[in-house]
Amino acid sequence: MLNRAEIAAVVCDLDGTVYLGDHVIPGVPAAIARVRAAGRRVLFLSNNPTKTPAEYVAKLTKLGIPATTDDVLTSALIMAEWLAAQPTAPRVYAIGEPALISTLQSHGVQLSDVPGQIDYVLASFDRTFAYPKLQIAFDAVRAGAKLIATNPDKYCPVPGGGEPDAAAIIAAIATCTDTTLQFTAGKPSPLAAQAVATRLGLPITSCLMVGDRLETDIGMAATGMPAALVLTGASTQAMADQWSGPAPSLITASVVTLVDYLLT
Ligand SMILES: [Mg+2]
């Protein structure tokens, strides 16, 4: 059960929760506005590393949800902050789209595509993934690099289907090198929970994670964050019934019905 009085902030997933592709899920902008008007903070936390926080701000604002970069966290940003904080200044081979590369660069992370010089191979959601990138990752891991990833999602829901996500890239590299993934920065990692707590200045127990995917969004419940599943994206009620991970505090049709419940 969800202790509604204890929730000071709503941490809201984006793809499949707020929108599908470029289409906002009906009623969500008004629901977000109600949460804010009730004096509770809304933070958007996306595992999707293919847009910068500034691009998410532009997209949300265009869809009728005014936001600033203070309101957005992504797996790419959490990973960039983690890499930038390492005292060893690691060199990174990043398999990702321009938003990930620019986020890493803006944090001063050293990038390399020379296998013997790479400390971390960073796998990500990359719609330009191709064999030459896999070859560099393969050579780097065999030369001692560790495999890490922005996010563990299998696919990203879009209208009418989905797009293969970072899990496919991780699996390609892990399979050909017999290596294992060290960690991911996005949901459901403790690193993501810590980033939320730091950003909001709140204990994670008073932040409610709301999302459409059991493995990532509801997986956050293992970190101590309460989590609510919405049925507008990746996971269905039938999948929730079979789910053996941490239990959601609530399963509800959408962000709209969640907010109705939260603010009652
Ligand atoms: Mg989602």
pLDDT for position 157: 79
Expressed in angstroms and rounded, the spacing between residue 172 Cα and the centre of ligand 1 is: 23
pLDDT value, residue 175: 98
What is the C-alpha to C-alpha distance for residues 183 and 177, in angstroms, rounded to an integer? 17
Ligand 1 midpoint to CA 104 (Å): 23
CATH architecture assignment, domain 76-177? 3-Layer(aba) Sandwich (3.40)
| 14 CA from centroid of ligand 1 (Å) | 6
Residue 166 CA, ligand 1 centroid: distance in Å? 13
Per-residue confidence (pLDDT) for residue 248, from 0 to 100:
97
What is the 214 CA–ligand 1 centroid distance (Å)? 9
Average pLDDT over residues 60-80: 98
- The pLDDT value given to residue 158: 81
Average pLDDT of the chain is 96
The stretch 72-93 carries a mean pLDDT of 98
What is the distance in A from the centroid of ligand 1 to the CA of 234?
7
pTM, to two decimals: 0.95
Q: How high is the pLDDT of residue 202?
A: 97
Residue 100 has pLDDT above 80, yes or no: yes
Question: Could you give the residue range(s) of every CATH 3.40.50.1000 domain in the chain?
Answer: 4-47+187-262, 76-177
- Distance between CA 227 and CA 49 in Å, rounded? 22
Query: How many C-beta atoms lie closer than 10 Å to residue 203's C-beta?
Result: 12
How far away, in angstroms, is 135 Cα from ligand 1 center? 30
Cα of 180 from ligand 1 centre, angstroms:
25
Query: How distant, in Å, are the alpha carbons of 14, 202, 206 from that of 7?
Result: 19, 10, 5
159 pLDDT band, cuts 50/70/90, is confident
How far the first Cα of the chain sits from its last, in Å, is 15
pLDDT at 2: 87
The predicted pLDDT at position 240 comes to 97
Residue 1, pLDDT > 80, answer no
Q: Which amino acid is at 211?
A: G
The whole-angstrom separation of Cα 260 and Cα 264 is 6
CB–CB of 106/80 below 8 Å?
A: yes
pLDDT greater than 90 at residue 44? yes
- Ordered DSSP codes for 171-234: HHHHHHHT-----BSSTTSHHHHHHHHHHHTS-GGGEEEEES-TTTTGGGGGGT--EEEESSSS
Residues 6+ apart with CB under 8 A from 188: 152, 215, 216, 217, 218, 219, 220, 222, 223
Gap from CA of 213 to ligand 1 centroid (Å): 6
Q: Which fold has domain 4-47+187-262?
A: Rossmann fold (3.40.50)
Instruction: Using pLDDT thresholds of 50, 70 and 90, give the confidence band for residue 160.
Output: confident
Tokens of 55: 């691009």
User: What's the 168 CA to ligand 1 centre distance in angstroms?
Assistant: 17
The alpha carbon of 252 and the centre of ligand 1 are apart by a number of angstroms equal to 15
CA of 208 to the centre of ligand 1 (A): 15
Q: Are strands 146-149 and 19-20 parallel, antiparallel or unpaired?
A: unpaired
> Residue 144 Cα, ligand 1 centroid: separation in angstroms?
33
CA of 119 to the centre of ligand 1 (A): 30
Residue 129 is predicted with a pLDDT of 98
Region 105-130: mean pLDDT is 98
Q: Quick one: tokens of 76?
A: 């790419």
**29 pLDDT exceeds 80?**
yes
- Residue 260 alpha carbon to ligand 1 centre in Å: 20
